[in-house]
Chains A and B, each alone.
Chain A
Amino acid sequence: MINFQYLRTTSAKSALALLQKDKKAQFIAGGTNLIDLMKRGVTSPEKLIDINHVPLRQIELVGNNIIIGALASNTNVAENKLVKERLPLLAMALNAGASAQLRNVATVGGNMMQRTRCGYFYDTEMPCNKREPGSGCGAIGGFNRMHAIFGTSEKCIAVHPSDMCVALAALDAVVVIANTKGERKLPFKDFHRLPGDTPQLDNNLKADEMIVRLEIPVNNLAAHAHYLKVRDRASYAFALVSVAAAVEIKDNKISDVRLAMGGVAHKPWRLTASENFLKGKEANAQNFEQAALLAMSGAKGFGENDFKLAMAPNSIIEALNLATAKV
Chain B
Amino acid sequence: MQSSDKESNRGDTRRDFLKKSSVITAIALTPAAAVKAAENQADERFAELFEKIPLNITVNNKAYRASVEPRVTLLDYLREELHLTGTKKGCDHGQCGACTVHADGERINSCLSLAVMNEGKKITTIEGLANGDELHPMQAAFIKHDGFQCGYCTPGQIMSAVACVNEGHTGSRAEIAEYMSGNICRCGAYPNIVDAIVEVSKGEAKV
Contacts and interface: CB of A to CB of B under 8 A. Distances in A.
Interface in B6-44: 43-44
A39 B107 contact: no
B113 A48 contact: no
Interface in A22-56: 28, 31-32, 35-36, 38-40, 48-50, 52
Interface in B147-197: 160, 163-164, 167, 169, 177-183
By size class, the interface of chain B is 35 or more
A38 to B, nearest CB: 8
Interface string B69-80: 111010000000
Given A7-B48, A101-B107, A102-B182, A36 B93 contact: yes
Interface in B84-120: 92-94, 97, 100, 106-109, 112-114, 116-117, 119
B198 interface: no
A5 B109 contact: no
A35 B113 contact: yes
Contacts of B181: 99-100, 234-236
Report which residue of A99, A101, A235 has the largest number of chain B beta carbons within 10 angstroms of its beta carbon.
A101
Contact of B109 (A32, A38, A39, A50): A32
A17 B45 CA distance: 12
A100 B167 contact: yes
A39 B48 contact: no
Contacts, number: 98
B53 interface: yes
Nearest to A8: B44
Contacts of B71: 1-4, 38
B47 interface: yes
Interface residues of A, number: 34
Nearest to A32: B112
Nearest to B51: A3
B47 A100 contact: no
A117 to B, nearest CB: 13
A50 B117 contact: yes
A135 interface: no
B8 to A, nearest CB: 20
Contact of B43 (A2, A8, A39, A48): A8
Contact of B178 (A39, A40, A235): A235
A2 B53 CA distance: 16
A119 B167 CA distance: 33
Given A101-B108, A104-B106, A236 B114 contact: no
Given A99-B109, A100-B163, A105-B109, 7 more contacts: A6-B70, A9-B44, A18-B44, A38-B71, A40-B93, A102-B94, A102-B109
Interface of A: 1-9, 14, 18, 28, 31-32, 35-36, 38-40, 48-50, 52, 75, 98-102, 104-105, 234-236
24 contacts: A2-B71, A6-B70, A6-B114, A6-B116, A7-B47, A14-B44, A32-B109, A32-B112, A35-B114, A36-B94, A38-B71, A39-B93, A52-B117, A75-B106, A98-B182, A100-B107, A101-B94, A101-B97, A101-B109, A101-B160, A102-B182, A104-B106, A234-B177, A234-B178
